[in-house]
Amino acid sequence: MKITVSVIKADIGSIGGHICPSNNLLRAVRTFIAERGRPLLVDHYVSYTGDDVAIVATHSYGVNNEQIHKLCWDAFMAGTAVAKSQGLYGAGQDLLKDSFSGNVRGMGPAVAEMEFDERPNEPFLFFAADKTDPGAYNFPLYLAFADPMNTPGLMLSPSMTAGFKFVIMDVGHTEGDRVIELNAPEDLYSIATLLRDPERYVVESIWSRSSGEQAAAVSTSRLHNIAGKYTGKDDPVMLVRVQKDFPATGEILAPFSIGPFVAGAMRGSHQMPLMPVPLNSGISYFDGPPVVSCAAFAMHNGNMTEAVDAFAHPFWQTVREDVSRKAMDMRRQGFFGAAMLPMSELEYTGIVDKLTELDQRFTVRRTDSQASRPSAKAQTG
Ligand code: 13P
Ligand code: 13P
Ligand code: MG
Ligand code: MG
């Protein structure tokens, strides 16, 4: 059976700044999807990570479907009305256009979708991250799909030895989707060359080279490219199918134990370690640290089991403690050097205005030696 899994997520308002959505907001989104989604969807699941609300929907309409996207857009509009009525911060933050036009791509919400022939057993993972951007998944995806040090399945499983195809997007190109396809393992160094720059090159999807089946889909939207100004970070969602032709769940989760430094946290302008957190967690320290949650599902004919919280296991408690220490270490450095993002990623215009003003006050000093040095002619003559 061909089935589509769509994840559409948006920040439509939160309590206490950018911590998490309110219960009433969530109830409004859930009720809307449950009632209006009945004729369209096979199943759905609504959760939050930080201040972002994600709708996971299964259906048979394929990716980029207008009806499915409109349903989610309208659910976020209903949630925004509640956010406004409760005085939540950033009500409707990610709904950047006034009215829906065909597809939520380019309108603010993040989208990750996959259409596939459902396997007799279909385990998959849904990731949501807050206070960071889509490049945050580059590092775990590289390790999980291209490095046998992380993923023994690349050596052990006959259906994985052919490797995986990475589709990588140049998110700096705003006129359209600029993508490149590279194959692991042959193109490993080329993949590494691009993925080392997660603000510019982002994994969009990953495909099995033995079966041709899609393994992963990542949301790649950059909000400031749509809005032309800072409107919040591009908190990314991701779907990953696991087992059989794909890495095992444990191979996908393992890289998250490293707590890599990613772009984000306070005002979307810093480098902070990514913390794996339980489902429906808010954020706290320094508007962070950046967080990622993972819901594991099995599915049959599009019907999902209950979500299992992949980062709730006691193992991740130690990881969270390590990440907390890394986060505090980095913060001791304040705004200096590696603690903050480079100028091109600072989306607040205040600093640009300040630099323009300061630039005019710079003078080029005429040194004494320049003033008194005799000309070359005078020296030789
Ligand atoms: P099982 O033998 O429990 O199915 O595990 C297989 C596997 O993929 C473990 O990583
Ligand atoms: P969000 O993108 O999660 O709304 O965060 C915005 C921000 O600037 C937090 O400091
Ligand atoms: Mg927010
Ligand atoms: Mg957010």
- Residue 215 to residues 117, 126, 127, 357, Cα–Cα distance (Å): 12, 12, 14, 49
- Tokens representing 70? 């409109």
Which among 242, 243, 245 is the best mutation to test ligand 1's pocket, defined by most ligand atoms within 8 Å of the CB? 243
Ligand 2 neighbours by CB, cut-off 6 Å: 11, 18, 50-51, 90, 93, 130-131, 232-233, 235, 266-268, 287
What pLDDT is attached to residue 371?
Answer: 64
**CA 232 to ligand 3 centroid distance, Å:** 6
Please state the rounded mean pLDDT for residues 2-30: 98
**CA 52 to ligand 2 centroid distance, Å:** 10
Q: Is 233 a catalytic residue?
A: yes
**CA 89 to ligand 3 centroid distance, Å:** 7
Residue 345 has φ and ψ, to the nearest 5°, of -100, -5
> Closest residue (by CA) to atom 1 of ligand 2?
232
Average pLDDT, the chain: 94
Higher pLDDT, 231 or 204: 204
Q: What is the model's pTM?
A: 0.94
What pLDDT is attached to residue 93?
Answer: 93
**What is the Cα–Cα distance from 164 to 153, expressed in whole angstroms?**
12
Atom of ligand 1 nearest to the CA of 249: 10
**CA 288 to ligand 2 centroid distance, Å:** 9
> Closest residue (by CA) to atom 4 of ligand 2?
232
User: Tens digit of pLDDT for each residue in 280-289?
Assistant: 999 999 999 9
Closest to 227 in 3D by CA, of 265, 288, 174? 174
Share of the chain above pLDDT 90, in %: 84
First CA to last CA across the chain, in angstroms? 92
**CA 287 to ligand 4 centroid distance, Å:** 10
The residue from 9, 165, 233, 244 that is catalytic is: 233
> Closest residue (by CA) to atom 8 of ligand 2?
267
**What is the Cα–Cα distance from 83 to 25, expressed in whole angstroms?**
6
For the Cβ of 110 lying below 6 angstroms from any atom of ligand 1, the answer is no
User: Tens digit of pLDDT for each residue in 244-302?
Assistant: 999 999 999 999 999 999 999 999 999 999 999 999 999 999 999 999 999 999 999 99
Which residues have C-beta within 8 Å of that of residue 297, sequence separation ≥ 6? 45, 123, 124, 125, 126, 304, 305, 307, 308
- pLDDT(227) > 90: no
What pLDDT is attached to residue 274?
Answer: 98
